[in-house]
Structure 1
Amino acid sequence: MGSGFSSFLVICTPPSPPAVPPETGLGDLPESVVGSVLVHLNPQQICRLAAVNRAFRGASSADFVWESKLPENYDSLISWISDEDDGDDSNAKFPSNLCKKDIYARLSQPNSIDEDTKKVWLHKGTGKPCVLMSFNGLSITGIDDRRYWSRISTEESRFGSVAYLQQTWWFEVDGEVEFPFPVGTYSLYFRVQLGRPEKQFGWRVCNREHIHGWDIKPVRFQLSTSDGQQAISQCYLTTPGAWNLYRVGSFVVEESRSPMKVKFSMMQIDCTHTKGGLCVDSVLICPK
């Protein structure tokens, strides 16, 4: 009876469907394949895709992915920053065992050099360096004469202070920088503001008491490079109470084997009238 019933169950039980192999998904892609896709994305996109799965997370840390985001002469940038690291251990910021992702992360943060008169970081869009120079690293005519100039503290500057001009006949700001710029085109700007930044009851205000003379004659901007490039522009200073980037011009770096020296100036030296009420913050060089 028992054996007959078991045979009956075997006859009546339908056969099991064949096993279906699991579907192939993104997690089955080799990291090398994922990495070959990530090299075509920008750093922000790479970091977002790292959360997709294990394969993307592993590929997003691959050296060849992040080396494609670094400038071709990033070793020179590291040496330049380390050598100027204000007396710290030269390996403190960039130890030899850093992976390319960590090198990119550290170069993307503002790195202070030259006694904190300059800051260097990588532009997120192009991966090329930006250089910001404080007024303390520039040559300003009469800066030490307190009858005309003063240094004021402000949170509106990355360096914590700006130079404020009350009045002068001869206005001239000169500077130069020598830096291992990677191949590319760069623009140079002066960051200045008409009016003195202040705070009243916690609110930002602009003291316009000393603003005068900038609408009579334009300010002249110039730059020149060690390989003979030059640019000249001029404009009237306008828009009191707002920080403005006044473009001086652009220069092209065609090879990065040696540092490029850039000289620049901003002047209004017509002594038929005085001018004042101007804040000088910094000079910015950034990839175009």
Structure 2
Amino acid sequence: MEEEEKGEGISDFSSLPEGVVAKILSFTTPSDACRSSVVSTTFVAAAQSDIVWDSFLPTDWEILISRRKPSNLNFDPISSSKKGIFFSLCDTPLIIDDGNKSFSLDKCSGKKCIMLGARELSIIWSDMPAYWTWEPHPESRFAEVAVLLNVWWLEIKGKLSCKMLSPATTYAAYFVFKMDERRYYGFDIVAADAAVAIVDGECCSSRVCLDPFLENAPPKRRRRTPCLRRNPLGNSMSRAKQPQERHDGWFEIELGELRNNGGDDVVEFFLKEVNCNYSKSGLIVQGIDIRPKVSRDLA
């Protein structure tokens, strides 16, 4: 009987002071804190506490928001609640570093998400108007996107300091793009090579398909020949990773994963297709999105 009474006392968290409950919730996750609100009125109040939500914010969040344009902020860092700041950073990516990167938080885990805009990437021949053009796009978070006019050799690279990412976290990098449906071609022939690599460290590579309409493209956009159909490179398209449509209307393809263990490492991203003798056109590049894998696991 005495043991049962002890068990009941330990399990009745709603009888604990609000500050103690808030401290307990600060060791959980944003998802857990939100779900705890249905337990009792004590948990409702505790789940709103700055103690809880300050623990979910990255320690360097104030430094990161200081790298934005002065007007690009929809909360007051001083007077806003920490919960309000957290969800603002989840729902509205901040454009930082001269408009070439964005910073946001994963809503499930509170981990940092970084996106490199097209201007932050190294795109071969992107400074030559005969091959690429730079244009504003109404659906891009960045001021400009890179639009492919015509190339045979496609090579896109990017890099990022791991200090900008959350430590002890597994990330995936996604190439974010669209196709100009009026004039794209040349992406249905061979798969592209993709890789995510820590400089002087581990590398994760894969083959990816950049044609989001591979099975439904009009015949006039098909550039295959009987020779290419028999070519192992051409056959690899069906085995390559396929693009997925995002909630914002863009497409993305996973380039690879990395484990960020902290430190001064630099991660590099690669995407290239240099094996095809056909030209390519119509690719619209927004950037490379680096976000925690846990985001997919908990969604």
Q: Normalising by structure 2, report the TM-score.
A: 0.68
Question: Is the 2:30–2:109 contact (alpha carbons within 8 Å) kept by the matching residues of 1?
Answer: no
Q: CA deviation at 1:129?
A: 0.7
Alignment of 1:157-236 (within 5 A): 157-180=140-163, 181=165, 182-193=167-178, 195-196=179-180, 206-207=181-182, 209=183, 211-226=184-199, 228-236=201-209
Matched residue pairs, number? Answer: 244
| Alignment counterpart, residue 48 of structure 2, candidates 53, 57, 61 | 61
Q: Is the 8 A contact 1:172 1:267 kept in 2?
A: yes
Letter in 2 for 1:104: F
Distance 1:60 1:145, change over 3 A: same
Q: Percent of aligned positions with the same letter in both sequences?
A: 30
Which among 128, 136, 140 is matched to residue 145 of structure 1?
A: 128
**Which of these residues, 246, 256, 260, is aligned with residue 253 of structure 1?**
260
Asked if structure 2 preserves the Cα contact closer than 8 Å seen for 1:130 and 1:284, the reply is yes
Distance 1:68 1:161, change over 3 A: same
Compute the displacement of 1:63 (Å): 3.5
Q: Which residue of 2 aligns with 1:76?
A: 60
Once structures 1 and 2 are overlaid, which stretch shifts more, 177-186 or 104-113?
Answer: 104-113
**Structure with higher RCO (Cα < 8 A, 6+ apart):** 2
TM superposition shift of 1:212: 2.3
Question: In the alignment, residue 270 of structure 2 is paired with which amino acid?
Answer: S
* 1:125 matches 2:108: yes
Distance (whole Å) between structure 2 residues aligned to residue 56 and residue 235 of structure 1: 46
Q: Distance in 2 between matches of 1:259 and 1:93?
A: 31
C-alpha contact 2:118 2:285 (8 A) present in aligned 1: yes
Which secondary structure state, in structure 2, belongs to the residue aligned with residue 75 of structure 1?
coil
What is residue 104 of structure 1 aligned with on the other side?
86
Greater share of strand: 1
Rg (Cα) greater in structure: 1
Distance 1:122 1:259 in 2: 21
Q: CA-to-partner distance for each residue in 1:119-173, whole Å, 9 max, x for gaps?
A: 1111001110111111111111121222222223322222254221121121111
Structure 1: stretches of 5+ with no match in the other structure: 1-25, 197-205
1:70-110 superposed Cα distances (whole Å, 9 cap, x missing partner): 3xxx223432442x23478xxx9645x87644553454341
In structure 2, do the counterparts of structure 1 residues 236 and 51 end up closer, same or farther at CA, with 3 Å as the change threshold?
A: closer
Match of 2:290 in 1: 285
User: Which structure 2 segments of 5+ residues have no match?
Assistant: 1-12, 218-244, 294-299
8 Å Cα contact 1:120/1:131 also seen in 2: yes
> CA 1:28/1:123 → structure 2, altered by over 3 Å: closer, same or farther?
same
Q: For the residues of structure 2 that align with 1:43 and 1:101, how far apart are their CA atoms? A: 10
Give TM-score, length-normalised by structure 1: 0.70
2:190–2:276 CA contact under 8 A, matched in 1: no
Q: What is the CA-CA distance between 1:48 and the residue it aligns to?
A: 7.8
Distance 2:272 2:51 in 1: 47
**1:60: how far off?**
2.7
Taking the aligned partners of 1:101 and 1:85, their CA distance within structure 2 comes to 20
Seen in structure 2, the aligned counterparts of structure 1 residues 232 and 33 have a Cα distance that, compared at 3 Å, is: same
Paired AA for residue 251 in structure 2: N
Of residues 26-35 and 60-69 in structure 1, the stretch that sits farther from structure 2 once superposed is 26-35
**Is the deviation greater in 144-153 or in 162-171?**
144-153
The 1:40–1:87 alpha-carbon spacing in structure 2 relative to 1, beyond 3 Å, is: closer
* More helix, by proportion: 2
Preserved CA contact (<8 Å) 1:155 1:161: no
Change (3 A) 1:219 1:117: same
SS in structure 2 opposite 1:217? coil
Over 3 Å counting, the alpha-carbon distance change for 1:148 and 1:35 in structure 2 is: same
Give SS of 2:206's match. Answer: strand
